[in-house]
Every structure is written in C-alpha cells, then in structure tokens.
Amino acid sequence: MPEETRKKISIACTGIPKSDETKKRISDTLKGMRKTNAHKKNISKCRTGRKHSEETRLKIAATQTRRHAERRAAEEEVIT
C-alpha cells in the first residue's frame, strides 16, 4: 500500500472510538507476537533517559518489598 494512502487512512481513522469487542480482538491478535532485535533496540533507544515518576517508584518499591518478604518466608519454610 502506498505511503500516501496509508497516511490518508490514518488521518481518517484518527479519533474514532473503538468498541470493547474491537479492542479485545486487537489485543488478542497482538499477544504473543515477537519483536525483532532491531525493534527492541529502537524501543530501548527511545526510552533511554526517561525517569520513573514518584508514584511509579513507590509502586515498584512496594512490589519489591513484598516479593522479598515472600521469598524470605519461603526460604524459612524450606529450612525448618
């Protein structure tokens, strides 16, 4: 498909809300698709330098604290 046609379709479809069924179908289609190494590298390059927000940092810290506590509890269970 020519690039010009793709742009016209993109502009025409921009802002049109999608139904929940359509979102689910798109989600199911994209699940399991693998990204090429080049694509992964481009994503990495794009994200380099970004910082997590304070809210995200707190969520990450809470998750890590819980995981470490669960791991310690499991290790103590094995030892005893």
More confident residue, 57 or 15: 57
CA dihedral 5, 11, 14, 15 (to 10 degrees): -150
pLDDT reported for residue 65: 96
Q: Roughly how many angstroms between the first and final C-alpha of the chain, as a whole number? A: 66
Residue 61, pLDDT > 80, answer yes
Contacts with 10 (C-beta within 8 Å, 6 or more apart), sequence order: none
pLDDT > 70: what percent of the chain? Answer: 99
Return the domain boundaries, the chain: 54-80
Q: Are 43 and 35 in contact (CB under 8 A)?
A: yes
Q: What is the pLDDT of residues 20-50, one digit of tens each?
A: 999 999 999 999 889 999 999 999 999 999 9
Answer whether 0.85 is exceeded by the pTM.
Answer: no
**How large is the C-alpha radius of gyration of the chain?**
22
